[in-house]
Structure 1
């Protein structure tokens, strides 16, 4: 039986009880924290580790790369896709096995292929974590089996997940309910994440469990153009906690269309062009979850990169618009040219001269 969870009509208090020791809800677009509980407490995170493993794998390899399974990837403790020594699989199949079935053997095969060793790959994971801003995170392995020096925080894990979800391949993988791998034997990879079938808008991302870490879950859901991440660590009621937190955030913060894609933001002068000015437009839709009171507290500041000189190409970056909630910068998006503007030729300059000197 499939139970579909929707927003409830209940108005939750900010400090309603959940079982999780640490929890966070974050807006993917802006990175704004919408709910928090012990978000900077370092904790083990079990197989949610694999979010970083998958991100690094996608950034450092190609989906069609053929991977030959090494001995150290066979029979790894815990969840498995039952790899065989010298078996050949595509990187794509291994990443699906990693994220849908939580294959620890898949994690080791991926790490060994990309870096030549697990330790080498872990260095890449830690380097990427620091680049993302996850400064209270340390990886010791690519699968999440317990080690005293393997930890993260709810906030860091949300940051890592936010970066991963902006990778289109990653997002496609984690919202897939079933993947059929190109191999003999164990090939049907059903996604363990019940959020995809139980929660309205659920589209990711990863489960995790060890005796020490407890039940850990990272979920994502998208409604009306807003995608939220929820992280719960050491959460006996992991799915229930996640659904309640997402319901809370979707109810308290509603979508506000701050800027529409291709909407005219400003008319800008152009030097030495066949046209003397051009309209600059937003490169993207900017939809931000806000409370009802916050919608009147949004300001936009337009910054143009420099004096514009022809030629200008349609879609060329011209500047940016910064979106503030009171004094807090929420988001920055690029402004681009709406049209091509060619440079003036000799004939154009002669005509301009005549018109100026009538």
Structure 2
């Protein structure tokens, strides 16, 4: 991972933290369309540290798969066998090359969906759980309501650009935190690579995590990337070090792999500085007569 010089680091943070007007944010929120700027939300140990247009509705690209995975994990067993449908085998975009009629375990298709962001695996899971994409999308929107995601709507299971698909950085925090409470999800999103096999064992498929932070950014614990023409570069990331947990949601970015490390670093640096100040104050109070 590229290491920033102090000057470049400061310049990047300055560009990241420029806030557009409240009026512009309101316009984007009302229409559910992506604007030209970046939205982000950074939480440190559960408290908001930095934010920009965190309530602006934007297309989430493959961050959509977080909700897809949550529903699959809540409604199916990891050892269930999934038969790849014609629709799944024909899915476009990011794929791992599933073939119609092949059979895989739910756990393996979830791995392909979350680690490789495979649309064919995601669609196969949706068809298995609900019988069709429209039926699964209905489950997604119902689950969004139960989670209190007021600015989120789904129209497909993979994250393809569509006017009916949008969410916000703030809603994605709620959704991802719920998914991370499920051990299987939390474990999968940390994997650097994996190999899955058909139930018969006749064919295996290997893939690497498309999240460049995993294995490269110290303390990275997932969770998901997404990219489409309308959504831009999107990312949900969690990193933990020294009892500090930094949670980042980044939407509609043009330089995800430069901005994300900078924003995560800022959360760690600021928190450590605040902790040192607290220690100094306590020591001063203790030494006072």
TM-score of Structure 1 vs Structure 2, range by shorter chain? 0.7 to 0.9
Specify every segment of 5 or more residues in structure 1 that has no aligned partner in the other structure, as ranges.
256-288, 297-358
Write the distance in 2 (CA, Å) between the matches of 1:99 and 1:123: 21
Name the residue aligned to 2:256. 238
Name the residue aligned to 2:246. 228
**If the length of structure 1 is used for normalisation, what is the TM-score?**
0.66
Deviations 1:167-224 (A, max 9, x none): 2111100001111102344511211111012211111011111111111111111112
CA contact (8 A) 1:22 1:37 kept: yes
Tell me which protein shows more helix as a share of its residues: 2
CA contact (8 A) 2:197 2:204 kept: no
Write the distance in 1 (CA, Å) between the matches of 2:143 and 2:5: 35
- 1:193 to 2:191 alignment: no
Please point out which of 43, 46, 52 is paired with 1:26: 43
Name the residue aligned to 1:46. 61
Q: Could you say what the CA RMSD is over the residues aligned between the two structures, in angstroms?
A: 2.8
Partner-residue secondary structure (3-state), 1:195: coil
CA deviation after TM superposition for structure 1 residue 295, in Å: 11
- 1:182 to 2:200 alignment: no
- 1:126 to 2:144 alignment: no
Write the distance in 2 (CA, Å) between the matches of 1:18 and 1:240: 10
- 1:37 to 2:52 alignment: yes
Specify every segment of 5 or more residues in structure 2 that has no aligned partner in the other structure, as ranges.
18-36, 282-289
Name the residue aligned to 2:78. 63
Write the distance in 1 (CA, Å) between the matches of 2:241 and 2:76: 32
Number of residue pairs matched? 259
Write the distance in 2 (CA, Å) between the matches of 1:229 and 1:7: 23
Partner-residue secondary structure (3-state), 2:234: strand
Compared CA separation, residues 232 and 150, structure 1 to 2 (3 A): same
Deviations 1:257-313 (A, max 9, x none): xxxxxxxxxxxxxxxxxxxxxxxxxxxxxxxx97946999xxxxxxxxxxxxxxxxx
- 1:17 to 2:21 alignment: no
CA deviation after TM superposition for structure 1 residue 77, in Å: 0.9
Write the distance in 2 (CA, Å) between the matches of 1:295 and 1:110: 53
Partner-residue secondary structure (3-state), 2:108: helix
Name the residue aligned to 2:285. none
- 1:104 to 2:119 alignment: yes
Name the residue aligned to 1:304. none
Name the residue aligned to 1:209. 227
- The structure with the largest alpha-carbon Rg is 1
